[in-house]
Amino acid sequence: MSEFYDWRTPIRALVLKENYNAALIFPVDVRKKPSFELFFFRVARASALKREYVLPELTSYPAAGSFFDFTFLGELGPGVGDDVFTMSEERPFRILHFGLGVYPPELRVYRQQPAGYTVTAWSRRVPTKLGDPVDYFTGEESPFEEPTRISETVMWYKGSVNFAVVNMAPVSVVPKLNIVGAGYDVVPITDRAVADKMVKGVLPCRFISVGGLAEVKYTVPDEWKPYVFSYGLEDVLRLLR
Amino acid sequence: MGTKFNIIAVVGTTEVDLAPYPGGNATVPTGKTRNVYSWVLSNSSSASNTLTLRIYRGTTLEASIPITLGAYDTIDTVSDKESPILVVPSGRTLKAVASAASITVLMTGEDK
């Protein structure tokens, strides 16, 4: 098994270095004629991303006050103040790539990206409801001190991500999220021939599927739009070798 | 890993804060829990005496732990890092009071 598919791979092992290539995969249509929009980038500069985000105290589930419903992580608390992942319009070619370490181990974290669409491994209609027994990760899977791949998230200017948390610990806790990863300044890859080589596996590239294969509405910066490359299912399948 | 510290106090019949020494705050910082791994409790009085540990949230008393010591008695308890004797949750304040004359309190702990 590739370590990329090991959910417990530490996020620090997946963060890209300078001059590495990355591509974000956005599904456009996954039913009639599957097609995907890909944006290719080269990491020009990678800087460490680290922040501990402390949430207000939660009682033990299922009491009232044992969860926060889907909202953004605000500077002043969940859904309050500026989103901590706010990206400035002056830097459209900046991508955040991080994992979330979770405290306590019993805390469940549900994620929606883009906001309103639950990231799901199951074949349920999205968004799922808070408290569902599926589609979450816990502090067991992504420990506070060592966030793992299961919590891997990317953000970009005009992207959005929401979280919900439920305290399944037997006592009241002050939950914490340890945001660890890197912020990349990237340069777009403008040459289709180079992109083709990456898709064919000739040139190394880290492909990141955003939100899986659901048909959702994505927004990307206007500055990215000239550099979009569309690929069909067969091309994308090659990535999965 | 947090910074280990001592809590040192001589507790009489007036309630006192049990704060990390030196210069610490008896209220546990947000997002941390205060773990106490060992303590020495010594009763300097010639009669039995009860030390009551109290955990407050603001002004609300959430938990009260009475520990009775005989005359000139000393209790020392040491645990390993995985199983602290006392865990004080985030935002709570640890205080103590004795029923009679003074009890010496020495604790070691860590905020995690």
Q: Beta strand pairing status for A206-209 and A21-29?
A: parallel
Least confident of A26-30, A236-240, B6-10, B44-48: A236-240
Task: Determine whether the interchain pair A52/B30 forms a contact, defined as Cβ–Cβ distance below 8 Å.
Answer: no
Q: Where are the domains of chain A?
A: 3-238
ipTM score = 0.75
Which pLDDT does position A241 carry in this prediction?
52
Tell me the two tokens of residue B8. 């040192």
Residues of A within an 8 Å Cβ radius of B = 52, 54, 57, 171-174, 176
Intervals of chain A under pLDDT 70? 1-5, 120-131, 211-215, 238-241
- Span B42-59, mean pLDDT? 95
Which pLDDT does position B3 carry in this prediction?
87
Task: Determine whether the interchain pair B89/A173 forms a contact, defined as Cβ–Cβ distance below 8 Å.
Answer: yes
- Span B72-97, mean pLDDT? 94
Number of A–B residue contacts, CB under 8 Å: 16
Which pLDDT does position A1 carry in this prediction?
34
User: What is the CATH class of B4-111?
Assistant: mainly beta
CB < 8 Å from A in window 27-46 of B: 30-32
3-class secondary structure per residue, chain A: CCHHHCCCCEHHHCCCCCCCEEEEEEEEECCCCCEEEEEEEEEEEEEEEEEEEECCCECCCCCCCCEEEEECEECCEECECCECCCCCCCCCCEEEEEEEEEECCCEEEEEECCCCCECCCCCCCCCCCCCCCCCCEECCCCECCCCEHHHCEEEECCCCCEEEEEECCCCCECCEEEEEEEEEEEEECCCHHHHHHHHHCCCCCEEEECCCCCCCCCCCCHHHHHHEEEEEHHHHHHCCC
Task: Determine whether the interchain pair B90/A52 forms a contact, defined as Cβ–Cβ distance below 8 Å.
Answer: no
d(CA A208, CA A200): 15
- For the cut 50, the answer to whether the pLDDT of residue B79 exceeds it is yes
Which residues in chain B touch residue A171, judged by CB atoms under 8 angstroms apart? 89
Task: Determine whether the interchain pair B89/A52 forms a contact, defined as Cβ–Cβ distance below 8 Å.
Answer: no
The 10 Å CB-count burial string (b at 16+, else e) for B39-59 is bebbbebeeebebbbbbbbee
- For the cut 90, the answer to whether the pLDDT of residue B36 exceeds it is yes
Task: Determine whether the interchain pair B31/A174 forms a contact, defined as Cβ–Cβ distance below 8 Å.
Answer: yes
Q: What percent of chain B has pLDDT over 70?
A: 99
Task: Determine whether the interchain pair A54/B89 forms a contact, defined as Cβ–Cβ distance below 8 Å.
Answer: no
Task: Determine whether the interchain pair B31/A172 forms a contact, defined as Cβ–Cβ distance below 8 Å.
Answer: no
Q: Where are the domains of chain B?
A: 4-111
Q: 10 Å Cβ neighbour count for A48?
A: 10
Which residues in chain B touch residue A174, judged by CB atoms under 8 angstroms apart? 30-32, 89-91
A52, closest residue in chain B (CA to CA): B31
Residue of B33, B88, B90 for testing the chain A interface, max A β-carbons within 10 Å: B90
- Span B99-108, mean pLDDT? 94
Least confident of A32-36, A136-140, B36-40, B78-82: A32-36
Q: Tokens 């980038």 belong to which residue?
A: A41
Which pLDDT does position A3 carry in this prediction?
47
Which pLDDT does position A2 carry in this prediction?
45
